[in-house]
Amino acid sequence: MNIGQAANASGVSAKMIRYYEATGLIPAASRTDAGYRNYTENDVHVLRFVRRARDLGFSVAEIDGLLQLWRNRRRRSADVKRIALGHIEDLRQRITDMQEMAGTLQQLVMGCSGDDRPDCPILADLEQPSAAAAGEPKRRRGAVDEPGVRKRKTPRR
């Protein structure tokens, strides 16, 4: 099947399929004599796995590790569980961070008169240095550096 059919069957856009191939997350599809990508049912099965993992919020690096474990019939379920538990912890932290952001914004909005005057506590707060500017490192979403989650430097062939 061509890339459009694989995209429809898997729920992964053609653009993302190309991206996953380019980054080495999934192997490059075989090509027809005319140079078009040709996908098998197994390729679609892998793409569905990737789609479900993305729907659960796993990063590409985490999905790479999960795919490696999925393909390894001698895997330890403890390794899969460790990745999932780490992801749950990350999700909970992001929820906490977003709740704090919403609370801060709510306070700022409550302090804003919302009238014709130019004074605005929201803008005044935004012009203040952020925690990152004060030297706190910024956490990156999906940054993973754990055993079992290999960061690929070159695409698979």
Q: Which tens digits make up the pLDDT trace of 8-48?
A: 999 999 999 999 999 999 999 999 999 999 999 999 999 99
> Is 38:2 a contact under the CB 8 Å cutoff?
yes
Q: Which of 12, 23, 7, 19 is nearest to 64 (CA)?
A: 23
Q: How far is CA 110 from CA 18, 115, 116, in A?
A: 46, 13, 16
Give the pLDDT score at 139: 55
Give the pLDDT score at 125: 92
Give the pLDDT score at 130: 79
Give the pLDDT score at 132: 67
The pLDDT confidence band at residue 152, using thresholds 50, 70 and 90, is very low
Tell whether the model's pLDDT for residue 77 goes beyond 80: yes
Give the pLDDT score at 135: 67
Other Cβ atoms within 10 Å of 1 Cβ, number: 16
Domains of the chain, residue spans: 3-71, 77-127
Tell whether the model's pLDDT for residue 56 goes beyond 80: yes
Tell whether the model's pLDDT for residue 104 goes beyond 60: yes
**Averaged pLDDT of the chain:** 87
Average pLDDT over residues 77-101: 96
Distance between terminal CA atoms of the chain? 20
pLDDT digits (tens, 9 = 90+) for 111-141: 998 898 888 989 999 998 877 666 665 555 5
Q: Which residues pair with 30 in a beta bridge?
A: 38
C-alpha to C-alpha distance for 14 and 79, rounded to whole angstroms: 31
> Is 152:21 a contact under the CB 8 Å cutoff?
no
CATH no., domain 3-71: 1.10.1660.10
